[in-house]
Amino acid sequence: MKHIPEFTVAIKMDEAFIDWFKSVYTAMGDSGALFTVVMSKHTRKLEVVVGYKSVGYSDRLHFQPCTLQGMDKVKAPVSFTAKHLTEVLKANPEFKDPILNVCEAGLASISFSEVDLDSQYYLVKVEVED
């Protein structure tokens, strides 16, 4: 990658978020499921939604994550494959509190850090079909 866009969201993937995400993904049982980072129309706060559709109704599961200060806004919903995030979390259980960074250009980055090791994964935006 020659240029990484500026990230506008930094989600703390604490134990509560990871447990929620794994439970929701397992319950959905859909390897094609997406997770979407979106501003709630009701609370005007950042949410992570599994089952998001831009129009109509769908089975949606919401989570309001903890974010780094000032890193909690997106202008438009951005969706990524839930399976990929689940696999990254399964492959790195020893790391505590990774950060999920998201930019509106359609890139997400999951970074893990420990004393002797830093690791970073990237996810690319997926268009939501209505």
Q: What amino acid is encoded at 124 in this protein?
A: V
* Residue whose C-alpha is closest to residue 101's, from 93, 113, 115: 113
Report whether 103 contacts 6 (CB < 8 A): yes
* pLDDT for 113 beyond 90: no
pLDDT for the residue 130: 58
pLDDT for the residue 123: 95
Q: How confident is the model at residue 71 (pLDDT cuts 50, 70, 90)?
A: very high
pLDDT for the residue 8: 94
The mean-pLDDT minimum among 26-30, 36-40, 62-66 falls in: 26-30
Domains of the chain with CATH codes: 9-124 (3.70.10.10)
Is 0.85 topped by the overall pTM?
yes
